[in-house]
Structure 1
Amino acid sequence: MTAATSEAEFTARWARLLRAHGSPLHPLKIDALAERTTSLIRDGRADHAAFALVNAHFTDPELLVGAVELLRTAPSRVPGSAGRFAAAWATALQEQTLRHQESIHSAADTARREAEQALHASEARFRALFEHAAVGIGVGSVHGEILAANQALLEMFGARPDDLYGRQVTDLVHPEDSPEVWAAYEDLIAGRRESFQCDKPYYRQDGEVVWTHLTVSLIRDEDSSPKYQVAMLEDITDRYRLQERLRHQATHDPLTGLPNRAAFFERLETLFAEAGADARFGLCYIDLDRFKIVNDSLGHDTGDQLLVAVASRLAAALTPLGHMVARLGGDEFVVLLERCQGEHEAVAAARAVLAALSEPIDIEDHKLAVGASIGVLERPVGTITPGAAVRAADLTLYRAKEAGGGRWTLYDARTNAAAVSRYSVSVRMPVALDRGEFFVEYQPLCALSDGSLAAVEALVRWRHPRLGVLGPDEFVAAAEETGLILPLGRWVLEQACAQAADWQRRFGQLAPQLNVNITARQARNKRLVADVGRILADTGLDPGLLQLEITEGTALGPLDESQRVLHALVDRGVSLAVDDFGTGWSNLAYLRDLPISGLKLSSSFVPDPEATGGEEVSWRIISGLVSLSSSLGLTLTAEGVETPETAERLRVLGCDWGQGWHFGRPTAPERLEALILAGAAEATPTAGMAEATNRVSPANERETY
């Protein structure tokens, strides 16, 4: 369909809409108005179109509903025409009402003056105005008795004179009246104020509700004493219902009909503002399990039907208990317990959610089983803020997800604090990389045969401005989960290769091999090969001096993308080693599927000198791994070597290299330069080397990255 055809079709549909709901204008005038307003809409001035229609007396609420639906497909050059049209419609209608109110107020002032004059001189003139006024007018005594009502007021109330005359004004109370209305009324009849205005509902004689804009004025006698009260009422029922419809649309989810995020937070904040500090509340933060599978396999229409069914079940199970159920977006829902009696009640609500979703849901020809993971929070109002409460419930939900889903998990302050810490670390990480807060230290790997420096492992540190120096175990997992490990790992490679290339240029054959860890996400990143090639070219480092350590979390299958990446790296002359070898069930597959050059034996296999029992079994395992690596031509490095006795036992067994505090802690690169030269001068076990490096780093456990 062409754009011209679309515009013509929109204009025709717009004209039909105006003719169906318009004022009694000539059809030619309606067509002219339709052309003018559609032109405004196409030019992105939907708000001007709304004002034009209201000014032409097109004020039917059904017209607004049809116009908003039609505007969603309007050929406007500016998005959001429907929203601007609705907002402008409400504003124009309000301005029109205000103009009417000014006229009414003018008539009211006239009525009051006429009433005063009629009381003093000419009853006839006041009576004429009273009877023929377009607004409802009632006259009462200062004691509250209704003395008179004009025809407009009787029609508004659907009443006869006998239904109103003699009744008390206070009989017309409505449950939605605010206390301020009746406080103002008491001040008026007591003579403490001359008038007041408000929007107030009344019951008609048939039981229906009419909404009015009420103006009440005080009439005084010649001595200025209160004598009568005059009430003028304008019927604003249509306007009120339109406002209520717009308010409902703003606070309710259009798909499920449940309160939306805005309504939920408004209710929660009201609860915190009005409840006492010792009052308690509960939250059940809900996320559906396996919902993405439904969307991906059966389509979003089925997913939407499923959300509607879930919302219906949750509302049926929890609304009768007095709890608010809201949809926050996507497949996330929340239950608010406003007067919670303790954790048991919040847990009961969570169990009610799981029970409501326990049976499959029929959608077309499918029986869909959908469970939920729920984070449960129950606290005194005075101990937390609304925002913090929702964040805590959300984090608790993810603990339920991590535990396998289909369950509820209760908020735990310690676990929540740890999760918040991880989150704050991951949020700051990109900024930290730009600001140079990361740095690299190097830990020696020494030959067990003579103690000479054979290699160094690059270990990244974070100098956090608030938390101090963080080791990799405190942020690498978060970086891997969020994907920030890719730029961070690239930066570590650049820094470490530049340092190793500098040692290569300065020390030649004495330069140590450089070991750099890569994670699972890095190994599966096709860009890694290009990054390594570029870094080697930029720094001039000999590829034979770079060894990449595959961390324990890198699970490789025969069809894994990382297989191709790692083979490509080896083809460029880079060597590979398996870190923490022996700690996972799949690690033997590395020896079959990858061109591995070395194995690093996990420190968990190296016996603790202070341990009692089990040492000989550990040494026999190490002996077997030494034989395995020797038969495959692999270099075996033992991690966690802390004492000379351990180093000597490993040497006797035939282990090649050792890494641990006995040989040195991670240290700055300039400290290692002395060790490189010292290793060349004396090929003896490097107790002095360990002493030099151990003075640098306060670390007290083995590094993993």
Structure 2
Amino acid sequence: MLRQVIGGDRATPRSPAPAIENLVSAWAAALARPVYRPMSHVELHRFTRWAALRLAGAAAVRPVDTRCAHDVGAALVDTDLLDRDDLPATVSALTAHLPAVAAERGAPSPDVAARDVTAAVVAGYVARMRARILDEQETVRQAEVQARKQTQDALLSSEARFRAIFENSGIGIGIADMDGRIVDANEAFASMLGYTVEEFCRINVADFVYPDDAQGMWELYAEIIEGKREQARVEKRYRHRDGRMVWTDLTASLIRDAQGDPLYTVAMAEDATTRHELQDRLRHQALHDPLTGLPNRTMVNERLAELFSRPGGRIGVCYLDVDNFKIVNDRLGHGIGDKLLVAISARLHQCVAERGHLVGRMGGDEFVILVQDPPPGEVALVADLVLASLASPVDVDEHRLVVTASIGVVETDVDDTTPAEVLKAADVTLYWAKSDGRARWAQYDPERAALDMTRFTLTATLAAGLERDEFEVEYQPIVRLDDGAVAGVEALVRWDHPTLGRLGPDRFIEVAEETGAIVPLGRHVLREACRRAARWNAENPGADLFVSVNLAVRQAHDPALVSDVADILADTGLPPHLLQLELTESALLGPAGRPVDAIGALADLGIRIAVDDFGTGYSNLGYLPRLPLHSLKLAGVLVEGLRSPTAGASRIVTSLVALAHALGLTVTGEGVETPAQAARLRTAGCDTAQGWLYARPAPWDAVVAALGRTRPRR
């Protein structure tokens, strides 16, 4: 529009007079407020220059050219330039600057000319704006007439369209009055429930009220009848004419009369039976094991959550695992394994279902039985029934399989624990039953569980303890029985655990063997003991104090054992004959009962080899002549028998000492705590002894301080 207005007027003076420039600048500035404009600032300035020049020419002639000024005012409307607030700004700019422009152009009466031109601009603007408003009003009127005609046409056909939709809709639609009488219904709703439309309209809404309807459903309908609610949507079951149930998604709405009072209710029902049945099947699949049909882990957890939601209740859990089930899968195949699981599941369900307990499959060959509020002895009885039900062989295809199971039993108040803790406790107890021999059940024991947790903690922190140098070595003197002098010391490791305190080897050596940490731990103890003994013997020439260090089974079978011991002796400077390595029978002999090769290699280095805890278990005396041994250490259980003057115990010790001496071995009695034990060992010919009678294990400095004055305490 702007280009149409000013596009043809490009003949503007190259050097406009100052008065014109003042008018253009003032006018453009007045119109350039921060509102939306259909033109840029450049176009706005160009328009005001064009208009100013036209108005200057109109003011310069006599009489003034009001037609030209009138056209400029109309152009302001055609460009959509001004809003209602901009016309006063335009008049102000013209009033202030147009007289000077008229004077500059030689008008005889500049003020009068400027006034007449400004009035003509306003008149042109108002005339053009009025014409535009009238045009717009006419357009609106025509549109209103057209809309009214279309509305009338729509009203004429609305009833026919509604009836067509009502009758042909696939969704059931029914209309009832405030008394529940069905006044109209479509074929879809009637046939959904097995009726004709005429039959359906003789039924009252109250006839569809069932005792097992969802809670709160009819309260919502009552609120609609009372006008308190406009609409409600529920899942509603209807009884079909043939007796089966039809599930629907039902929406009930209220229709009011002209005064706003409730008039009718409209029910729209969509058949959801197929979807509901599918949801039931999917939920069953989600909560049941596909192989056995038993409740799965998810359903067991849901049931546990329900039981734990009742304050003051009790819960019993039997957690079952089939013994050696992996062998069935590995040797007979997973197909046979699956059939075996199905047979086991049937037996479990049969033996406890009549007692009202839930049996579920947790996965693999693990099952769980939940007992709600068990009476005294019920959980143990259930465990016995399960074991009895599995006692007879299971025939799977052509295989007759003998099945046993291990069961962990937990019984507790729900207020004292959580579902996760109960299942964890049952799982832990299950593995107690397995470790105790399988084919049995075990009862949860909090003290045993605490010990297991401590063992787990030790396993998890042992490697870090080695890195942090938390292990210390203590020493216990080994005393000659003939004169009471100290012949050597035994190195005993202790663990200063950061949370469990100071631990003896009985607490962590087995864990170290299982994890493999015994090898670096044993190397640490051996190096420390050899370093101490080497320094003391160097400071006390001729004393020949030997140090005895225990080797575990895993150490004895470590390929690097011999080289490690040789390197430590070389590094510390301890003579090989002053090192004694103590090994149990299981560490000395390999799997086939043959001597471990490393023992001969260590003896060849000049190291003393001693059999530790001799006399325990079923010692095989036949290996003694075949090994390069130097000493036997009588087990503490044998020395314990010497506390009282029992002839049998003394004769056994005397015989063992005589046997050892016949083989050229020395004998040490361990665990000596009383003078009577020491005297009887001395009488039996035992060479050395150690125990609390002489000294308790202590740090090296405390032990060497007592060397030379160690005598039995009377």
TM value normalised by structure 2: 0.69
User: Counterparts in 2 of 1:271-310, with a 5 A limit?
Assistant: 271-273=307-309, 275-277=310-312, 279-310=313-344
Q: Confirm whether residue 192 of structure 1 aligns to residue 228 of structure 2.
A: yes
User: Counterparts in 2 of 1:27-426, with a 5 A limit?
Assistant: 126-161=162-197, 164-169=200-205, 171-172=207-208, 177-273=213-309, 275-277=310-312, 279-340=313-374, 342-426=375-459
Deviation at 1:429, TM superposition (A): 4.1
CA distance in 1, matches of 2:201, 2:562: 94
Amino acid at match of 1:368: L
Deviation at 1:501, TM superposition (A): 2.6
| 1:663 equivalent in structure 2 | 694
User: Counterparts in 2 of 1:548-563, with a 5 A limit?
Assistant: 548-551=581-584, 556=589, 559-560=592-593, 563=596
- Give the secondary-structure state (helix, strand or coil) at the position aligned to 2:596: helix
Larger radius of gyration: 2
Q: Confirm whether residue 496 of structure 1 aligns to residue 523 of structure 2.
A: no
CA distance in 2, matches of 1:539, 1:203: 95
Q: Confirm whether residue 516 of structure 1 aligns to residue 549 of structure 2.
A: yes
| 1:627 equivalent in structure 2 | 658
Change in CA separation of 1:438 and 1:225 when aligned onto 2, cut-off 3 Å = farther
Structure 1 contact 501–542 (Cα < 8 Å) conserved: no
Deviation at 1:334, TM superposition (A): 0.9
CA distance in 1, matches of 2:301, 2:568: 50
Deviation at 1:468, TM superposition (A): 2.4
- Give the secondary-structure state (helix, strand or coil) at the position aligned to 1:606: helix
Deviation at 1:457, TM superposition (A): 2.4
Deviation at 1:405, TM superposition (A): 2.6
Change in CA separation of 1:207 and 1:547 when aligned onto 2, cut-off 3 Å = farther
Amino acid at match of 1:659: Q
Deviation at 1:184, TM superposition (A): 3.6
| 1:94 equivalent in structure 2 | none
Is 413-422 or 579-588 further displaced after alignment?
Answer: 413-422
Change in CA separation of 1:225 and 1:363 when aligned onto 2, cut-off 3 Å = same
Change in CA separation of 1:173 and 1:453 when aligned onto 2, cut-off 3 Å = farther
Deviation readout 1:253-311 (Å, 9 max, x if unpaired): 333232222321221122111x241x332211112223233234323332222122211
Change in CA separation of 1:298 and 1:525 when aligned onto 2, cut-off 3 Å = farther
- Give the secondary-structure state (helix, strand or coil) at the position aligned to 1:215: strand
Is 380-389 or 557-566 further displaced after alignment?
Answer: 557-566
Structure 1 contact 361–368 (Cα < 8 Å) conserved: yes
Change in CA separation of 1:194 and 1:327 when aligned onto 2, cut-off 3 Å = same
Amino acid at match of 2:668: T
Deviation readout 1:630-656 (Å, 9 max, x if unpaired): 111222111112245644553454322
Is 418-427 or 360-369 further displaced after alignment?
Answer: 418-427
CA distance in 2, matches of 1:136, 1:562: 91
Deviation readout 1:588-642 (Å, 9 max, x if unpaired): 2442554332211122222578x5552x433332222221111112221111122
Deviation at 1:360, TM superposition (A): 1.0
Deviation at 1:378, TM superposition (A): 2.9
CA distance in 2, matches of 1:537, 1:578: 25
Amino acid at match of 1:344: G
Match for residue 640 of structure 1 among 635, 660, 671: 671
Amino acid at match of 1:596: L
- Over aligned residues, Cα RMSD in angstroms? 3.7
Change in CA separation of 1:547 and 1:212 when aligned onto 2, cut-off 3 Å = farther
CA distance in 2, matches of 1:170, 1:584: 85
CA distance in 1, matches of 2:455, 2:711: 38
Structure 1 contact 555–586 (Cα < 8 Å) conserved: no
| 2:105 equivalent in structure 1 | none
Structure 1 contact 176–201 (Cα < 8 Å) conserved: no
| 1:14 equivalent in structure 2 | none
- Give the secondary-structure state (helix, strand or coil) at the position aligned to 1:343: coil
Structure 1 contact 504–511 (Cα < 8 Å) conserved: no
| 2:635 equivalent in structure 1 | 602
Deviation readout 1:91-132 (Å, 9 max, x if unpaired): xxxxxxxxxxxxxxxxxxxxxxxxxx99xx976554333223
Deviation at 1:241, TM superposition (A): 4.6
Structure 2 contact 584–614 (Cα < 8 Å) conserved: no
Structure 1 contact 552–583 (Cα < 8 Å) conserved: no
RCO comparison, higher one (Cα < 8 Å, 6+): 1
Deviation at 1:576, TM superposition (A): 3.1
Deviation readout 1:441-471 (Å, 9 max, x if unpaired): 2222233344443333232323334432222
Deviation at 1:337, TM superposition (A): 1.5
Change in CA separation of 1:124 and 1:664 when aligned onto 2, cut-off 3 Å = same
Match for residue 577 of structure 1 among 610, 614, 637: 610
- Give the secondary-structure state (helix, strand or coil) at the position aligned to 1:583: coil
CA distance in 1, matches of 2:576, 2:168: 101
Deviation readout 1:356-392 (Å, 9 max, x if unpaired): 2122111222100101222223333333322232233
TM value normalised by structure 1: 0.69
Structure 1 contact 138–150 (Cα < 8 Å) conserved: yes
CA distance in 1, matches of 2:425, 2:201: 60
CA distance in 1, matches of 2:564, 2:237: 72
Deviation readout 1:157-195 (Å, 9 max, x if unpaired): 444335543445455467875424444444444433332
Is 280-289 or 242-251 further displaced after alignment?
Answer: 242-251
CA distance in 1, matches of 2:197, 2:559: 88
Amino acid at match of 1:154: A
Change in CA separation of 1:404 and 1:563 when aligned onto 2, cut-off 3 Å = same
User: Percent identity between the aligned chains?
Assistant: 46
- Give the secondary-structure state (helix, strand or coil) at the position aligned to 1:255: coil
CA distance in 1, matches of 2:567, 2:218: 80
Deviation at 1:348, TM superposition (A): 2.7
Match for residue 461 of structure 1 among 489, 494, 497: 494
- Give the secondary-structure state (helix, strand or coil) at the position aligned to 1:359: coil
CA distance in 1, matches of 2:199, 2:311: 45
Structure 1 contact 500–511 (Cα < 8 Å) conserved: no
CA distance in 2, matches of 1:182, 1:543: 96
How many residues in Structure 1 have an aligned counterpart in Structure 2? 557
Structure 2 contact 533–547 (Cα < 8 Å) conserved: no
Change in CA separation of 1:405 and 1:502 when aligned onto 2, cut-off 3 Å = closer
Structure 2 contact 638–653 (Cα < 8 Å) conserved: yes
CA distance in 1, matches of 2:458, 2:213: 52
CA distance in 2, matches of 1:527, 1:300: 43
CA distance in 2, matches of 1:524, 1:180: 75
CA distance in 2, matches of 1:567, 1:163: 105
Give unmatched runs, 5+ long, in structure 2.
1-153
CA distance in 1, matches of 2:493, 2:648: 34
Change in CA separation of 1:201 and 1:626 when aligned onto 2, cut-off 3 Å = same
CA distance in 2, matches of 1:203, 1:320: 33
| 1:702 equivalent in structure 2 | none
